[in-house]
């Protein structure tokens, strides 16, 4: 009479799961001045908001890990967030055998089942991390959009003032902070 045996193998996995997400956009700057002059105005405005200049790119890393990079010559904006976490997983694989002759093969099958489960769980953990990073980034994008819109408006206003001085004598400048309107009276 044969007996059924259950072979159980436990495996563990320690892995660092990393996820990164990002979005690219462009600042809408009117071509009122030369590219170099606009780049200078944009770089100055971004520096006033905590950006550090690295060549043609102004970069700021937020306390929550969001990295904002603005190419001052083209107006290209890149917002990225990366995160990582260490996951410790364990899984068990079981195989039932009728006789003890195939123990080694059964043990290998059980081990493979456990490893397959671990790999699936690790992929699930990576996907959860990616979704978490995406949610965090989406939450920050709303705030950053309003800040970058303000930067664009400020640079455009400064460019208009510079251009007005190039056209003639500026007699009057009126800015309405509530509506964002700018009126410049120039004598040509």
Q: Mind listing the pLDDT tens digit for each residue in 80-100?
A: 999 988 989 888 888 887 776
| Residue 178 domain-assigned (yes or no) | no
Please tell me the distance from the alpha carbon of residue 81 to that of residue 67, in angstroms, as a whole number: 6
Q: What is the DSSP-derived secondary structure letter of residue 33?
A: S
| Residue 167 domain-assigned (yes or no) | no
How much is the pLDDT for 183?
84
- Report residue 69's pLDDT band, with 50, 70 and 90 as the boundaries: very high
For 26-35, 81-90, 126-135, 179-188, which range has the lowest pLDDT when averaged over its residues? 179-188
Please tell me the distance from the alpha carbon of residue 77 to that of residue 111, in angstroms, as a whole number: 48
H/E segment holding residue 71: strand 67-71
| Residue 132 domain-assigned (yes or no) | yes
| Residue 152 domain-assigned (yes or no) | no
Domain encompassing residue 53: 5-144
Contact of 57 with 70, CB cutoff 8 Å? yes
Q: How many domains does the chain have?
A: 1
| Residue 35 domain-assigned (yes or no) | yes
| Residue 165 domain-assigned (yes or no) | no
């Amino acid at each position: 009479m044969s007996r059924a045996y259950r072979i159980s193998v436990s495996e563990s996995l320690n892995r660092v799961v990393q996820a990164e997400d990002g979005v690219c956009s462009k600042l809408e700057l009117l071509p009122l001045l030369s590219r170099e002059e606009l780049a200078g105005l944009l770089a100055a405005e971004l520096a006033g908001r905590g950006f550090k200049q690295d060549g043609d790119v102004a970069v700021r890393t937020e306390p929550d890990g969001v990295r904002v990079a603005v190419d001052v010559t083209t107006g290209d904006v890149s917002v990225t967030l990366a995160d990582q976490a260490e996951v410790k997983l364990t899984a068990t694989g079981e195989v039932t055998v009728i006789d003890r002759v195939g123990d080694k093969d059964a043990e290998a099958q059980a081990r493979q089942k456990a490893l397959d489960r671990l790999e699936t769980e690790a992929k699930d953990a990576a996907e959860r991390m990616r979704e978490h990073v995406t949610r965090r980034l989406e939450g920050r994008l709303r705030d950053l959009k309003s800040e970058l819109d303000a930067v664009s408006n400020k640079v455009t206003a400064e460019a208009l003032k510079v251009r007005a001085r190039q056209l003639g004598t500026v007699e009057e400048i009126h800015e309405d902070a509530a509506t964002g309107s700018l009126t410049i009276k120039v004598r040509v």
